[in-house]
Copies of this chain bind each other. A is one copy, B any other.
Amino acid sequence: MSLVIIGTIAYDAIETPFGKTDKIVGGAATFAGLAAAYLYDQVKLVGVVGDDFGDENLNVLKSRGISLDGVQVKKGEKTFFWSGRYHNDMNSRDTLATELNVLADFDPIVPDSYQDCQYLLLGNLTPQVQLTTLSRLRHKPKLVVLDTMNFWMDTAWDDLMQVLSSVDVLTINDAEARQLSGEYGLVKAAEKILQLGPKYLIIKKGEHGALLFGDGRIFSAPALPLTDVYDPTGAGDTFAGGFIGYLAKVGTLTFHNMKNAVIFGSALASFCVEKFGTERLKELDSALISERLSRFTELTKFDIED
C-alpha cells in the first residue's frame, strides 16, 4: 500500500514584505510529499525536473523515505520555474515569471513499484496530466484527492470537469469555489461542486481556516493565528499532503477521520508559512507536530452545558 503524489517539482523565487529569495526548491509535489512523509511512510512522487535540479535537493526528499522512482530527470532541460511577489496582505500575489521548461511536454511515468497505490493526491498541475496519471494506475485507489487552481478553470475547463468526475475529494480556495460554481455563498457553491463528482469538498480560506463539506455535514477548521506569515507559498499543497497523509495513516475514510485530516493538514500548513519555501517544513518532528495539534484543540475547544 502506498500514497502516490503527483505535482510540480519546481524552483521558486519569492518576494514577500519580509524578504526575497533566489531560486529555492518548491512545487506542489515537494510541499505535499514533505508534509505527508511526516504522517505516513510509503510516500511516492510522480514528477519531472531538469538536470539543473541538484541531487542535494532530491536527496532531501529521499532522506525522508519518499520514493522518487516516478520522478524523471530530463537531461539538458531546465526545471519548472515560478516567481511571484506577495502583496502586503499576504493573501494576493502577482506572478512575475512562469517558465514551464520540463513541464511543457510532461508525460507522467507511473512505475510498477507505484501500482500498490491506495491513496492518490493529484496535486496542482494541468488536469490532462492528472487524468493521465490516474489512467496509468491499474487499480483504482481507495481515495483520490484533487488539488487544482483558478488557472485551470480559465484554460482547461473540460479536462478539469473530467478529472473532477473521477475524484473523491477536491481542495480549492474560496475564490476558486466561487468561480467553479458561479455561486457567491460557499454553502450553495459547495452543493453545486459536490454534484460535479467529488464526495467531499474542502474550501481553503487562508487565514480564516478551511471548511469541509460532505455526507450532508459541514466541518469548520480554524487557521492558527500567527504573529508573522513569512511566505504563503506551498501552504495549500502542504495542507493537501497533510490531509491525505493522515488518511493513509489511519486507513478508514469516515467523516470523523476526514475532520481530523483537515486539522492535520492545517497544522502542517501553519508551519509551512513560518519560513520561506520548504525551509520550515524540512525541520519538523513528531513532537513539534503534536504540540501544534494541541494548539488547534485549545484554539477551538469549548464546552457548553446548556
Chain A contact residues, CB within 8 Å of chain B: 88-89, 184-188, 205, 207-209, 211, 217-222, 225-229, 256, 259-260, 262-264, 290, 293, 297-300, 302-304, 306
Contacts and interface: CB of A to CB of B under 8 A. Distances in A.
B225 A220 contact: yes
A302 B221 CA distance: 9
Interface of A is mostly: mixed
Nearest to A178: B89
Contact of A297 (B209, B293, B298, B304): B304
A12 to B, nearest CB: 23
A218 to B, nearest CB: 5
Q: Chain B CB within 10 Å — which of A88, A220, A293 has the most?
A: A220
Contacts of A218: 225, 299
Nearest to A262: B302
7 contacts: A88-B184, A185-B226, A208-B208, A209-B209, A218-B225, A256-B302, A263-B302
A186 B229 CA distance: 11
Contact of A220 (B209, B219, B256, B303): B209
Q: Which 10 A-B pairs have CB atoms at the shortest separation, nearest pair first?
A: A220-B222, A208-B208, A259-B302, A187-B227, A187-B225, A220-B299, A300-B300, A260-B304, A218-B225, A290-B306
Contacts of A188: 227
B186 A263 contact: no
A225 B186 contact: yes
Contacts of A226: 185, 187
Contacts of A302: 219, 221, 256, 259-260, 262-263, 297, 300
B222 A222 contact: yes
A45 B87 CA distance: 45
